[in-house]
């Protein structure tokens, strides 16, 4: 892998703390360093509440980061003023989880798709904007007869297609997909995933794919980042991670994937014991320590650092030092 | 165009296709009007309202102003006749003429005050709800002070300070009635700002003003419209309260509220004198309510049949 090229998007020690109560902070995103190269897909996995959605939103500055940098083509966008940011929003887009809540119920399909183009005046006339909106409907596989329909008249898959068309309308390079299929039926999930992958090939898009569904992430990602309580525990290419998971948490996650194979019914599943510890002012040491079967003294005192074990495979665990 | 399969042509090809589709956006206004036309109640309200507006415009054609103001002692409490279709009041003034010319004063003030209180209150409420934090705190505490002063007292202060005229009345009544809107719209906005489609609009680079105008106001329009329609009638009554204590338009000027107030004295001898201005107020309120309800339904695509 030639590490010389600049990543399309890079976060440097990105943190987002939410204030809870008087002096406590909820560490939603706690020092994330990640690199996403153009044309790739990075899958971000983790259980509910681990900060993966917050990470996606912080990267787009829909939530302002507490500290750290977000480099887009090497340029720190956290320092951008509102006008520069408005322009940057055409490059960085998002597809939301809930395809109903993310569409204004009072606007027709074509108006929703055209909205970003109208805001940014990407085309000189309304006529051209609506023409392009109609073409975007072709691109995402929505029949044009739905142009005048309202979101509540369509099913989840078609609504999600509207969300995708809206994100594509401003020609973005980087798209955060915030659990785009988790609200959909399994049969429709596959359609939407295939659509996203086709679009990536055609338009050279870069995705950050946030999900809790490991089988989805394997299907779509080049690299996978495993998050736990706001931190990155393991980062590796998709194949590597599924073949050789190193972190105990990743191993447990992977063993919990249901196998659609009767011969595998007696497969041993590593069950993670206990509950996620509170993300509010977490104790020093490894955050997974309380639930880890390999936990020893050092884990409780010193936080493990993300280290490159093999080229492109990074793990944050004290076990790797032995 | 197969719907559920991946596009046969690549996305770029599809997007760069130069062919002009001549795609016409459906007009929101046309859609709303089409849905409104289906609603019988709303259409009755609309026709009544048009009738009332016509009366206001054609007041001078229907009856002369003088007949409504000049007092003729011989005509005191005269019964209905060809000359005075609705009879005369206790000063010998023609009731029809007063009713028709009173429509101008009453409706102008009531409608203008409801519109201005709505605009003022909605803007403040939207700002308070959308920005939250200190802005919200400041606006809401100022509002608490406003609401702790009785409406009537407040209006009296304004009218006493600025003198009684139509613009002053509108201002005074706006200040008495805008508080409801602030609280209504603020609570509506608080529900909406967390919606993902508002976040989606921000992700597209939308400014706060644009989000408020194009997403939040349309989605709170239902509760606003209902409040406006209720307010038009209560403002006509409120104005009569003001004229009752002598704060509205000066005496001979015809106005529905003051007609109602002065007819009260002769209610036993001439009950019809109370009936006519009351009917006028009810008819106005009724038509505005019908139309408002219909509009609210027509604007919500989720309710369309």
- Ranges of each domain in chain B: 35-72+82-303
Residues with Cβ within 8 Å of A81's Cβ and at least 6 positions away in sequence, in order, are none
Chain B residue with minimum CA distance to A144: B1
CB nearest to A102's CB, from B10, B197, B300: B197
CB nearest to A135's CB, from B17, B196, B206: B17
Retrieve residue A223's tokens. Answer: 């690299």
Q: Which CATH fold topology does A9-91+172-321 show? A: Rossmann fold (3.40.50)
Q: Which letter does DSSP use for residue A280 in this model?
A: B
**% pLDDT > 90, chain B:** 12
Calpha distance A90→B247 (Å, rounded): 58
CB nearest to B7's CB, from A89, A141, A152: A141
CA distance A155 to chain B (A): 13
Chain A residue with minimum CA distance to B216: A104
Retrieve residue B236's tokens. Answer: 């006509």
Beta-carbon separation of B11 and A202 below 8 A: yes
Retrieve residue A244's tokens. Answer: 């050789």
Q: Is residue B129 scored above 60 in pLDDT?
A: yes
From chain B, pick out residues whose CB is under 8 angstroms from the CB of A115. 201, 204, 206
Residues with Cβ within 8 Å of A278's Cβ and at least 6 positions away in sequence, in order, are none
CB nearest to B200's CB, from A102, A130, A150: A102
From chain A, pick out residues whose CB is under 8 angstroms from the CB of B301. 105-106, 108, 150, 152
Which residues, in sequence order, are bridge partners of residue A92? Answer: A174
Residues 197-256 of B with CB under 8 A from A: 197, 199-206, 210, 215, 218-219
Entry pTM: 0.81
- Burial class of B167 by CB neighbour count within 10 A (0 to 12, 13 to 18, 19+): exposed
Chain A residue with minimum CA distance to B10: A202
Rg (CA), chain B: 25
Contacts of A242-250 spanning 24+ positions with Cβ under 8 A? A242/A218, A244/A313, A246/A309, A246/A313, A246/A315, A246/A317, A246/A319, A246/A320, A247/A288, A247/A315, A247/A316, A247/A317, A248/A288, A248/A292, A248/A293, A248/A294, A248/A317, A248/A319, A249/A288, A249/A291, A249/A292, A250/A226
Per-residue model confidence (pLDDT) at position B24:
65
What helix, strand, coil percent values describe chain B, rounded to 5? 75, 0, 25
Beta-carbon separation of B202 and A120 below 8 A: no
- Chain A interface includes B30 (CB < 8 A): no
- Chain B interface includes A272 (CB < 8 A): no
Give pLDDT tens digits for B3-33.
444 445 677 777 776 666 666 666 777 888 8
- Chain A interface includes B4 (CB < 8 A): yes
CATH architecture of B35-72+82-303: Orthogonal Bundle (1.10)
ipTM value for the complex:
0.85
Per-residue model confidence (pLDDT) at position B135:
92
**% pLDDT > 70, chain B:** 88
A137: closest CA among A166, A106, A117, A115? A166
Q: Is A32 helix (H, G, I), strand (E, B) or coil?
A: strand
From chain A, pick out residues whose CB is under 8 angstroms from the CB of B25. 110-111, 114, 126, 130
Give pLDDT tens digits for A249-271.
998 888 888 777 787 777 777 77
pLDDT band, residue B2 (cuts 50/70/90): very low
B290: closest CA among B52, B45, B51? B45
Residues with Cβ within 8 Å of A87's Cβ and at least 6 positions away in sequence, in order, are A120, B205
Q: Flag the least confident range among A13-22, A86-95, B241-250.
A: B241-250
Beta-carbon separation of B204 and A111 below 8 A: no
Q: Is residue A2 scored above 70 in pLDDT?
A: no
Q: What are phi and psi of A207, to 5 degrees?
A: -115, 145
CB nearest to A131's CB, from B5, B20, B201: B20
B interface test, pick of A88, A110, A115 with most B CB neighbours within 10 Å? A115
Q: What are phi and psi of A11, to 5 degrees?
A: -110, 140
Calpha distance A219→A186 (Å, rounded): 14
Q: Is residue B114 scored above 80 in pLDDT?
A: yes
Q: What is the dihedral of CA B32, B211, A192, A232, to 10 degrees?
A: -160
- Chain B interface includes A96 (CB < 8 A): yes
CA distance A306 to chain B (A): 31
Q: Pick the residue with more confidence: A228 or B246? A: A228
- Chain A interface includes B303 (CB < 8 A): no
Write down the domain spans for chain A. 9-91+172-321, 105-164
From chain B, pick out residues whose CB is under 8 angstroms from the CB of A93. 203
From chain B, pick out residues whose CB is under 8 angstroms from the CB of A202. 10-12
CA distance A233 to chain B (A): 29
Q: What is the dihedral of CA A51, A55, A58, A62, to 10 degrees?
A: -70
Count CA atoms closer than 13 A to A285's CA, side-chain side. Answer: 14
Give pLDDT tens digits for B58-108.
877 777 777 666 777 776 776 777 677 777 777 778 788 888 888 888 888
Calpha distance B201→A259 (Å, rounded): 40
- Chain A interface includes B194 (CB < 8 A): no
- Parallel, antiparallel, or unpaired for β A75-76 and A92-95? unpaired
Residues with Cβ within 8 Å of A127's Cβ and at least 6 positions away in sequence, in order, are none
* Distance between start and end Cα atoms, chain B: 28
pLDDT band, residue B1 (cuts 50/70/90): very low
- Chain A interface includes B8 (CB < 8 A): no
- Chain A interface includes B99 (CB < 8 A): no
Retrieve residue B43's tokens. Answer: 């259409």
Per-residue model confidence (pLDDT) at position A285:
85
A interface test, pick of B10, B31, B197 with most A CB neighbours within 10 Å? B197
Calpha distance B175→B166 (Å, rounded): 14
Rg (CA), chain A: 21
Calpha distance A275→A289 (Å, rounded): 11
Q: Is residue B175 scored above 50 in pLDDT?
A: yes
Number of Cβ pairs < 8 A linking chain A and chain B:
120
């Amino acid at each position: 892998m030639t590490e010389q090229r600049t990543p399309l998007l890079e976060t440097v020690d990105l943190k987002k703390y939410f204030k809870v109560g008087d002096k406590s902070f909820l560490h939603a995103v706690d020092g994330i360093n990640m690199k996403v190269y153009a044309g790739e897909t990075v899958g971000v996995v983790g259980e509910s509440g681990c900060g993966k959605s917050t990470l996606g939103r912080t990267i787009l500055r829909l939530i302002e980061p507490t500290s750290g940098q977000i480099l887009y083509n090497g340029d720190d966008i956290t320092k951008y003023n509102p006008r520069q940011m408005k322009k940057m929003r055409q490059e960085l887009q998002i597809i939301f989880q809930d395809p109903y809540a993310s569409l204004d119920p009072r606007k027709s399909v074509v108006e929703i798709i055209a909205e970003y183009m109208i805001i940014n005046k990407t085309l000189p006339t309304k006529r051209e904007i609506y023409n392009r909106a109609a073409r975007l409907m072709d691109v995402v596989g929505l029949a044009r007869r739905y142009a005048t329909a309202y979101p509540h008249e369509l099913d989840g898959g078609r609504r999600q297609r509207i969300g995708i068309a809206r994100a594509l309308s401003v020609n973005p390079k980087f798209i955060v997909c915030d659990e785009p299929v988790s609200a959909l039926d399994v049969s429709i999930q596959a359609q939407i995933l295939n659509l996203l992958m086709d679009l990536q090939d055609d338009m050279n898009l870069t995705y950050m794919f946030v999900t809790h569904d490991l089988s989805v992430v394997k299907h779509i990602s080049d690299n996978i980042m495993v998050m736990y309580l706001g931190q990155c525990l393991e980062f590796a290419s998709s194949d590597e991670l599924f073949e050789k998971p190193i972190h105990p948490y990743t191993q447990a996650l992977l063993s919990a994937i249901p196998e659609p194979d009767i011969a595998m019914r007696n497969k041993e599943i590593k069950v993670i014991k206990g509950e996620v510890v509170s993300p509010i002012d977490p104790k020093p040491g490894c955050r997974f320590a309380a639930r880890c079967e390999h936990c020893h003294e050092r884990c409780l005192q010193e936080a493990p650092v993300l280290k490159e074990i093999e080229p492109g495979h990074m793990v944050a665990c004290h076990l790797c030092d032995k | 165009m197969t719907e559920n399969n991946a596009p046969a042509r690549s996305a770029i090809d599809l997007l760069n296709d130069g062919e002009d589709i001549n795609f016409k956006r459906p007009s929101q206004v046309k859609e709303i009007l089409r849905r409104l036309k289906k609603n019988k109640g709303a259409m009755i309200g609309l026709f009544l309202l048009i009738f009332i507006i016509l009366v206001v415009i054609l007041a001078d054609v229907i009856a002369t102003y003088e007949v409504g103001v000049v007092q003729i002692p011989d005509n005191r409490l005269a019964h209905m006749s060809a000359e005075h279709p609705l009879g005369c009041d206790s000063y010998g003034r023609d009731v029809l003429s007063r009713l028709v010319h009173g429509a101008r004063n009453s409706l102008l003030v009531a409608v203008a005050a409801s519109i201005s209180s709505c605009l003022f209150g909605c803007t403040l409420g939207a700002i308070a709800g959308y920005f939250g934090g200190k802005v919200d705190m400041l606006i809401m505490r100022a509002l608490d002070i406003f609401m702790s002063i009785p409406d009537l007292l407040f209006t009296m202060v304004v009218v006493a300070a600025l003198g009684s005229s139509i613009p002053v009345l509108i201002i005074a009544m706006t200040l008495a009635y805008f508080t409801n809107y602030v609280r209504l719209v603020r609570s509506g906005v608080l529900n909406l700002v967390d919606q993902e489609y508002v976040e989606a609009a921000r992700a597209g680079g939308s400014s706060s003003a644009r989000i408020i105008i194009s997403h939040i106001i349309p989605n709170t329009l239902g509760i606003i419209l209902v409040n406006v329609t209720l307010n038009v009638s209560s403002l006509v009554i409120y104005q009569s309260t003001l004229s009752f204590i002598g704060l509205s338009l000066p005496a001979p000027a015809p106005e529905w509220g003051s007609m109602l107030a002065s007819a009260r004295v002769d209610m036993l001898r001439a009950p019809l004198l109370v009936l006519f201005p009351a009917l006028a107020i009810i008819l106005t309120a009724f038509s505005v309510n019908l139309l408002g309800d219909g509009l609210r339904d027509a604007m919500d695509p989720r309710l369309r049949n």
